[in-house]
Amino acid sequence: MIDFSGIETLNMYSGDDTVTFDDVSEFDNFRNELDVVDSGGTDTLKFGTTSVTGDLNFNNLDEFENLELSSTNDDVTLSGDEPDNIYGLGGDDSFTLDYSNVSSFTTIDGGADVDEVIVQGTFAANNTDFGTVNDYDNIETLDISGMSLTGTDSDEIQFTGDLINEWTNGGAVSGALTLQLTADQMENIGYTDSGSTYQSSVSDGVTYNLENGATLTIEQVV
């Protein structure tokens, strides 16, 4: 257990430094007790084998570039104050964040096993891709059921094979993404099929073949 006494400032100087915690309580103690100073390098906050849950407070810790979660199942909310690079490592991980914050992260990497990204907030459907190929790595499920889609029924959120292949690359099943959404949202979902033809509707329980060998499975959330 980390125990500081009479120390106010931790200066990590230059170099690539890693601080490892057993659990969230140890992380909170570290954050509350120290003013961290960094003079360079790529620095990492890392957890061990205890599950990480909730919205971690990164006040006073903006000097760190990487966050590595535990090797088991984690369930975290990313509010935007976290390091630029998030790594789920092992376990079935869940990441919840607002759509407006997705581009704030350089990396959201689910790692091994079956991982889910839950996106909230608002998306103005206007016949554009749902993000970029750089948004996620190693994820299997994207849940948008809590989002508000403000476009008309003829304005779709587009999913392409390139997006899915990049988001799932290296995951449990590369090239296969499950999209969770509500019945009302299905009218705002479009995709480019394996014949490079754009399709403007989807149905619950169907797996669609997209270009470049990717698949998109639709799963309605009640």
For the segment 13-59, what is each residue's pLDDT rounded down to a tens digit?
778 989 899 999 999 988 887 777 666 789 999 999 999 999 999 98
d(CA 169, CA 181): 22
Query: What mean pLDDT is predicted for residues 131-137?
Result: 95
Query: What mean pLDDT is predicted for residues 72-94?
Result: 97
pLDDT reading at 167 higher than 60: yes
Amino acid at 210: L
pLDDT grade for 182, boundaries at 50, 70 and 90: very high
Query: What mean pLDDT is predicted for residues 112-116?
Result: 95
For the segment 187-211, what is each residue's pLDDT rounded down to a tens digit?
999 999 999 999 998 999 999 999 9
Instruction: Provide the pLDDT for residue 34.
Output: 76
Which two tokens mark 71?
């090797």
Burial 9-45 (b: 16+ CB within 10 A, else e): ebebeeeebebebeebebbeebbeebebebeeeebbb
Instruction: Provide the pLDDT for residue 91.
Output: 96
- The chain-wide mean pLDDT, for the chain, equals 91
CA–CA distance from 71 to each of 13, 23, 46 (Å)? Answer: 28, 12, 10
Instruction: Provide the pLDDT for residue 165.
Output: 96
Instruction: Provide the pLDDT for residue 8.
Output: 62
Taking alpha carbons only, the member of 142, 139, 143 closest to residue 172 is 139
Instruction: Provide the pLDDT for residue 154.
Output: 83
Instruction: Provide the pLDDT for residue 222.
Output: 80
d(CA 150, CA 188): 9
